[in-house]
Amino acid sequence: MNTGITSQQASTYRVLTEIYEGPLDLLLQLIEHAELDITKLALAQVTDQYLEHLRLIQDLDASEVSAFLVIAAKLLQIKSEVLLPRPPTREPGEEDPGEALALQLIAYKRYRAIANHLGMRAAAGLHTYLRLAAPPKIEGILDLSGLTLMDLAAAARAVFSQADARSALSTIVPIPTVTIREKIRLIARSLRLKSRISFRKLLGEQRSRLDIAVTFLAMLELIKRHIITAHQEKLFGEIELEAVNTWNENEDFELEFGE
């Protein structure tokens, strides 16, 4: 088994590359070159090589070198404990520096592998998301061939004649109150009259965005509680609701989506 890297490899090893490599990078590479598993014994075996590389570092400032010195101190302590005739006794709760550094190195190796994998996916353009569903087909073209200028003028007059019926801008229009509990009672009454009803028919003719959103949340609440089921035969198709359990619509239960 290879017990270390060669002197030629040691002389060509560079701690600084295009992407900065810290003390854990150096330690991990020494262990991998020596074909050792990351253990306390492996850390003790590569201590001398780590110190030699640390001695050759010339282009790091004091703050960067300090990180290497911290690891070097831990390695010296680990090696000294391995060379002792019997392991040192530790106080209850005292950390074993060898095991702690080995676990740190194992976690670092895992994160570095994940980072490399994500980097390759990003370089390959795999960070994008594909549209799986086909876009809806809009069939039919509005035929204006039978309309004349007089028809358009009459339609415009009909629209503009209703302008006087609108409230003045200074009028305060209260926001309509629509609650999920009201829509739950609406769904209950509708399913008592018919065993199956579409979501569109629940909304009726006079509907707003608020009505649609609150009714949809009420439907989700009842589906979650296994009170009704919803069926949609195709993409963007009609949603059909059907009761599977009877319940009292006046029953007060906690709602996940609010009131």
Question: Are residues 108 and 197 both part of a single domain?
Answer: no
237 domain-assigned = yes
Round to whole Å and give the CA distance between 208 and 177: 12
Q: Transcribe 70-100 into DSSP letters.
A: HHHHHHHHHHHHHHSSSPPP--TT---HHHH
19 domain-assigned = yes
83 domain-assigned = yes
25 domain-assigned = yes
174 domain-assigned = no
Q: What's residue 94's pLDDT?
A: 75
Q: What's residue 141's pLDDT?
A: 75
Q: Which domain range does residue 226 map to?
A: 180-243
- 183 burial (CB, 10 Å; 0-12 / 13-18 / 19+) is buried
Single out the residue in 106, 123, 140 at which a domain terminates. Answer: 123
Question: pLDDT tens, 69-111?
Answer: 888 888 888 888 878 777 677 777 777 778 888 888 889 889 8
109 domain-assigned = yes
Q: Which uninterrupted H or E stretch holds 153? A: helix 149-160
Read off the CATH number of the domain in which 219 is found. 1.10.10.580
Question: Are residues 107 and 186 both part of a single domain?
Answer: no
Q: How many domains, the chain?
A: 2
Question: pLDDT tens, 132-185?
Answer: 777 777 777 777 788 888 988 988 888 877 656 566 666 766 766 788 888 888
104 domain-assigned = yes
* Phi and psi at residue 34, to the nearest 5°: -80, 0
